[in-house]
Structure 1
Amino acid sequence: MDIRDTGGRDTNWCKPSPTAARNDIMTASPASKPSDGLFYPPHAKPLTGKESFVQSTYKFLKNPLEGFGPLAYAQPIVSLKTFWYRTHVVSDPVGMLQVLGTESAKFQKAPIDGRILGPATKEGLLSVGGDQWKTQRRAVAPIFAKRHMADLAPMIADVLRDFKAKIGEGGSVELNAAMADVTFDVLAKTLLGDPSGMDRERLKTATRKVVTSAGTLRPDDLLPMPRWMPRPIPPSGSRALKALKAAADDLLDSRVDDTDARDLVGLLVSATDPHTGRALSRRERRDNLIGFFIAGHETTALTLTWALYLAGMHGATFARLRDEVDAVRPDGDISYDDMAVLPFTRAVIDETMRLFPPAPILNRECIEPTTLYGRDIAPNDVVILNNYIMHRTDRLWGNPLAFDPDRFLRDPSLRNKGAPFMPFGAGPRICVGMAFAIMEAVMGLATLVRDYDIDISADCYPRPLMTVTLRPEGGIKAKLTARAR
């Protein structure tokens, strides 16, 4: 996929409806004041509470973020009975930590996750549980250990340098496609051993198609289907999935006798369970690689996309970012040690993930009776952990719909365990690559804001649209111009 705008086609980028969108935001948060100098980015407007069951279900299927009513924003738990099971929507850190942390053994991945992710990652870390999950987690965790971050940072810098060489003095780009280029190349260089012969363009396209086809909800996804029943995949998604499987198989075949676990592929090939001595099966290795194709670049690409959009739309933020980076590293590569002295850059990334979390919704199914906020949760009940709502509710945040990175500088405890900020989840299954993703995002944002002016149309106000990830509907068109020095 070419990241440049070739012109002459209807791209549907940045739907020009800022007035209506901002009115929606004001409806969602009357305390918001656009005259306060802050930027109020797009927000998925909640239901009014007056919709019928059919209307609300339709909205949920079209965009899950818009399928929740005002009660979900106003109280920590909302329970409802459908035709087949009880559902509890949790948007509060206490309940989140209980389900994901202290009582995680009483919950498992919900059936809908298996239906959505199963075709691609059924035997991989994203989907399995119990001892199988523990074995796989132990296998991949070493590459993301803090001691390895300084070794991986120069590889990220290499990719960023190559990206700048590719776009030269700049031009029109679609930010999501551009950042997907960057993060996939980072994935290949740092985690996959920088394999030669990999058709990266084809894989990037295939990964996006798999996420889109799998993550687009259908009415049958709300039915109580047996876990063993496969979810039909449209032809384009099926072809894309075959491409991902073939790429993963090729990588594994090229490293079949590799005992040097220097990257993710090597770790998967050489991994054995320390308790049983069991090696990972071929299916487990392949499904884990596909999981990292998806989670290892799509989520970080979107974080960078939204961060560049927010900085590009708010001049004061852009200026502060550039000033901070200039003071630390006015030219050359951003280094691992620079991370500690770029606090505002990190705050912008955190505020971006608060507004547009990589995992907006997590689903769990209860397997052992418990209580949440005094409510009985029975086996087979589904718990929807809604990070998107938790990050944007007046109950937990001041002026929650505003883009205000300084909130993380005013109160660093917002990053602590138990705070209402959980962009990577929580508990034992917290994202294994969290530290790496943050480092990649900070380095990418710092480098691009320092070296390029970013021009985005004032009427660019893309709707946040959730599939598996949280994308800007229609994309974000921007003009990058090399900074005059």
Structure 2
Amino acid sequence: MIPPKPASRPDRVSLWRYMQLFRRDILSAQPARLYRAWMAEFRTPFFRSYLMNQPDLVKTVLKDRPDDFPKSDRIGEGLRPLLGNSVFLTNGETWKRQRRIIDPAFEGGRLRETFPAMWAASEAAAARLPDGVTEIEEQTSHAAADVIFRTLFSIPIENELASAVFHEFRAYQRSQPILNLAAFVPLPRWMPRLFRRDTRASAARIRALITQLVAQRADEIAQGTAPDDLATKIMTTADPETGDTFSAEEMVDQVAIFFLAGHETSASALAWALYLLALYPDWQAKVASEAQALQDCDFGVMSKLPVTREVFRETLRLYPPVPMMVREATCPERFRDRDVRKGSQLVLSPWHLHRHTRLWDRPDDFDPARWHTENGKTCQRDAFIPFSAGARVCTGAGFAMVEGPLILARLLRDTEVTVVPERVPVPVAHLTVRAQDGIWLNLRKRQR
């Protein structure tokens, strides 16, 4: 049984048809040949882009020469109303300054400190699960948002402000396409960007709510009553080179991306993991067996969930939450005997790289045991980038690899999930890889 993936378009379509498909869904807009190509070129009247699947080329762009291949501004245009100048969108010295302030909050030792908040969120998520046929993406979105609020601001999602942000974000997530017109046409800087009215309004409401949270925390820091959580850590950390801390507006930008990256991506991965385990009950039984170790809030319990971690990693391979990343060439290059002009877009696609037929054994199969094979070990090193890689690797990667397996195991400790045969989810790319009409599962309490 092969897990679902989108149908591919024909190799040749008109630019107009491609743009229509791209705006509807970035995944099904791509031709099947990308699953076996080392490099593919796309030409438009406005710019050229190159999809790169060869591991050496991916390494060059992400690890060896990241300053020569900054993030493309075209992709960020669609997210700027919400994210402002957050670390997700910036480049150069601005980005380096932001990472110097943010990174200390996510160092290894902090994971142990944030674990009780993750544990509380996982317990709350398990208690919320209903019986019967359920749309599971809504449940995992709720759980992931709860983790963010508890670890960042020490408040549960039931808090009035936290709840308001969560519900506004659900509206924003469905109204925001992954790309807007600026991704296709290099608009001049002076030309106004066009966004859907509801998208811009929703982003403004989210930022207003986050501004309240940041202002409250600034007051608590000034009074010496702030909890020692991620928000306090970030707001009080000074850039070691300049001594500056984030301004209130800068902190709003960063909280917006923490919520987007930490909530959207985790919710996507958790929902697909639960679907895969419903599809493969033998693996679900192994996870449920491991999950019996989850009785006390102890960070050491994570060492008792090796199978759950492998299942989560395999989910990130098949359904990477961020399916494509775009970089820009700042100087002329030559890759695989192709001349790449300055300003060209370089597309790095975890979606295609993780399913590449010339790299992976049985690339479309769900097989968490693959990580113990030679092929799996090689591909994990060279062709597995769910959190990007190199200097711009997601600062919360370690956080996600604790949160995801913990919540997955906790939910399955007490609940059994089975598929709804007539509702097979179709992956599409919104802000992250979600299901076109949701992921529907049948839930029932597990018999111990």
Residue 484 of structure 1 aligns to which amino acid in structure 2?
Answer: Q
Residue 73 of structure 1 aligns to which amino acid in structure 2?
Answer: Y
Mapped to 2, the partners of 1:447 and 1:268 lie a distance apart of: 29
Q: Do the aligned residues in 2 keep the contact of 1:462 with 1:473 (CA within 8 Å)?
A: yes
Shift of 1:286: 0.9
Q: Does 1:175 align with 2:136?
A: yes
The equivalent position to 2:256 in structure 1, one of 280, 285, 290, is 290
Q: Do the aligned residues in 1 keep the contact of 2:49 with 2:346 (CA within 8 Å)?
A: yes
Shift of 1:154: 2.0
The equivalent position to 1:431 in structure 2, one of 394, 408, 415, is 394
Shift of 1:215: 2.7
Shift of 1:227: 4.3
Shift of 1:132: 1.3
> Could you tell me which residue of structure 2 aligns to residue 11 of structure 1?
none
Q: Does 1:388 align with 2:354?
A: no
Mapped to 1, the partners of 2:62 and 2:230 lie a distance apart of: 26
1:412-440 deviation line (CA, Å, top 9, x unaligned):
625754x2111110110100000111111
> Could you tell me which residue of structure 1 aligns to residue 377 of structure 2?
413
Structure 1 residues not aligned, in runs of 5+ = 1-38
Q: Do the aligned residues in 1 keep the contact of 2:152 with 2:231 (CA within 8 Å)?
A: yes
The equivalent position to 1:300 in structure 2, one of 258, 266, 270, is 266
Q: TM-score normalised to the size of structure 2?
A: 0.92
Q: TM-score normalised to the size of structure 1?
A: 0.86
Residue 147 of structure 2 aligns to which amino acid in structure 1?
Answer: V
Q: Does 1:464 align with 2:427?
A: yes
Residue 135 of structure 2 aligns to which amino acid in structure 1?
Answer: E
Q: 1:199 to 1:480 in 2, by over 3 A?
A: farther
Shift of 1:370: 2.6
The equivalent position to 1:193 in structure 2, one of 154, 163, 169, is 154
Residue 85 of structure 1 aligns to which amino acid in structure 2?
Answer: F
Mapped to 2, the partners of 1:349 and 1:202 lie a distance apart of: 29
Shift of 1:220: 5.6
The equivalent position to 1:233 in structure 2, one of 184, 187, 195, is 195
> Could you tell me which residue of structure 1 aligns to residue 323 of structure 2?
360
Mapped to 2, the partners of 1:228 and 1:146 lie a distance apart of: 43
> Could you tell me which residue of structure 1 aligns to residue 28 of structure 2?
66
Residue 377 of structure 2 aligns to which amino acid in structure 1?
Answer: S
1:442-479 deviation line (CA, Å, top 9, x unaligned):
00111111210113212332111102211011111223
**Matching of residues 31-46 of structure 1 within 5 Å:** 39-46=1-8
> Could you tell me which residue of structure 1 aligns to residue 171 of structure 2?
209
> Could you tell me which residue of structure 1 aligns to residue 80 of structure 2?
118
1:97-148 deviation line (CA, Å, top 9, x unaligned):
2111111111122132221121111211111111211121121212211112
How many aligned positions are there?
A: 442
SS at match of 1:425: coil
Mapped to 2, the partners of 1:230 and 1:388 lie a distance apart of: 32
Q: Does 1:313 align with 2:279?
A: yes
Q: 1:163 to 1:146 in 2, by over 3 A?
A: same
SS at match of 1:296: helix
Mapped to 2, the partners of 1:46 and 1:141 lie a distance apart of: 39
Q: Runs in 1 of length 4+ with deviation above 4 angstroms? A: 227-230
Q: Do the aligned residues in 2 keep the contact of 1:106 with 1:369 (CA within 8 Å)?
A: no
Q: Does 1:253 align with 2:219?
A: no
Q: Do the aligned residues in 2 keep the contact of 1:62 with 1:217 (CA within 8 Å)?
A: no
Mapped to 2, the partners of 1:254 and 1:203 lie a distance apart of: 15
Q: Do the aligned residues in 1 keep the contact of 2:76 with 2:89 (CA within 8 Å)?
A: yes
Q: Do the aligned residues in 2 keep the contact of 1:111 with 1:227 (CA within 8 Å)?
A: no
Mapped to 1, the partners of 2:316 and 2:439 lie a distance apart of: 17
Shift of 1:408: 1.3
Sequence identity percentage: 29
